[in-house]
């Protein structure tokens, strides 16, 4: 291998599979999924990978798509490439061509049997809300905002009613493409510090807008408009009209998937430390 990280004349001839952990501030992009105008996180990443590999056309598969304005702390993707570099070079080289609000955090060479989406055991999200009479400034586009105090104990109680396997149709966007509304929620923990409230959720999979719709209901409960038990009625209705309006994407963070330990992939990135609580 030469000093730049490239293999010399003895480079293998087949392709190898690479997994990347990617963090991004999603405010400037129309979500993860590639679109014709090219202003998505996937488009920017694939463009950078093509530049780093000197023109190789690389398509990426992600662990979980995110909507417009949603942030990612450890989106995991995989792709196959005929370009051979060491893992550190994939990180540094790709980041050279990425915009400042997207950065590869780690790279791993993985077996061809690894699949960023199919191999994931669970997916994790966090939602950050600032409850204060003054709108966010330093946290603009990074937190949801409600200008009244919230009864966080009631919100925490309500969130626990959602644990387990349920039909989450009441929290599903009309454009959701999931074949089934039945998902399993493993964690729904609410914490708060000062004006900041954080909801951590983990499940096997999520519906389109599911977490933002859950947060909309929790906000109504926190404002005293509904009781904590009301969220059980919403869940049982299996009807989107029974739930509160969809809350802002600004405070939603995809923390990333979890995988079996035998894949040897990181569970977190330094970006995790950027969130309050």
Domain 16-119, CATH number (from 3.30.70.580, 3.40.605.10, 3.40.640.10, 3.40.630.10): 3.30.70.580
Known catalytic membership, residue 67: yes
Q: Check: pTM over 0.75? Answer yes or no.
A: yes
User: By C-alpha distance, which of 241, 221, 245 is closest to 231?
Assistant: 221
| pLDDT confidence of residue 95 | 98
Asked if the domains 16-119 and 122-254 are classified in one and the same CATH topology, the answer is yes
Q: What are the structural domain ranges in the chain? A: 16-119, 122-254
- What pLDDT digit, counting tens, does each position of 219-245 carry? 999 999 999 999 999 999 999 999 999
What burial letters (b/e) apply to 51-60, b meaning 16+ CB within 10 Å? Answer: ebbeeeebeb
- What pLDDT digit, counting tens, does each position of 70-79 carry? 999 999 999 9
In angstroms, the CA 245 to CA 247 distance is: 6
Nearby residues of 134 by Cβ (< 8 Å), 6 or more positions away: 147
Q: Which of 9, 37, 43, 67 is catalytic?
A: 67
Q: What is the CATH number of domain 122-254?
A: 3.30.70.660
What burial letters (b/e) apply to 218-254, b meaning 16+ CB within 10 Å? Answer: bbbbbbeebebebbeebbeeeebebbbebbbbbbbbb
The answer to whether 111 touches 125, Cβ cutoff 8 Å, is no
Would you write out the chain's pLDDT as a tens digit for each of its 277 residues? 444 444 434 456 689 999 999 999 999 999 999 999 999 999 999 999 999 999 999 999 999 999 999 999 999 999 999 999 999 999 999 999 999 999 999 999 999 999 999 999 999 999 999 999 999 999 999 999 999 999 999 999 999 999 999 999 999 999 898 999 999 999 999 999 999 999 999 999 999 999 999 999 999 999 999 999 999 999 999 999 999 999 999 999 999 999 999 999 999 999 999 888 7
Bridge partners (DSSP) listed for residue 216: none
């Amino acid at each position: 291998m030469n000093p730049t990280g490239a293999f010399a004349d003895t480079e293998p001839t087949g392709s190898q599979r690479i997994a990347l952990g990617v963090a991004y501030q999603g405010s400037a992009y129309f979500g993860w999924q590639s679109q014709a105008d090219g202003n998505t996180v996937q488009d920017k990443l694939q463009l950078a990978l093509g530049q780093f590999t000197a023109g190789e056309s690389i398509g990426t598969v992600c662990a979980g798509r995110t909507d417009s304005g949603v942030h990612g702390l450890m989106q995991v993707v995989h792709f196959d490439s005929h370009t051979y570099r060491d893992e550190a070079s994939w990180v540094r080289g790709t980041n050279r061509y990425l915009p400042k609000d997207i950065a590869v955090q780690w790279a791993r060479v993985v077996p061809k049997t690894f699949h960023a989406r199919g191999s994931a055991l669970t997916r994790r999200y966090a939602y950050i809300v600032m409850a204060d009479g003054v709108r966010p400034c330093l946290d603009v586009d990074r937190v949801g905002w409600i200008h009244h105090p919230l009864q966080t104990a009631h919100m925490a109680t309500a969130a626990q009613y959602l644990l387990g396997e349920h039909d989450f149709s009441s929290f599903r966007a009309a454009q959701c493409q999931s074949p089934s509304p039945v998902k399993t929620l493993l964690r729904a923990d609410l914490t708060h510090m000062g004006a900041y409230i954080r909801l951590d959720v983990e499940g096997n999979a999520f519906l389109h807008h599911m977490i933002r719709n859950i947060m909309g209901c929790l906000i109504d409960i926190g404002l005293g408009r509904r009781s904590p038990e009301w969220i059980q009625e919403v869940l049982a209705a299996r009807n989107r009209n029974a739930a509160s309006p969809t809350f802002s994407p600004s405070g939603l963070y995809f923390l990333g998937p979890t995988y079996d330990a035998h894949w040897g992939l990181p569970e977190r990135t330094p970006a995790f430390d950027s969130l309050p609580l």
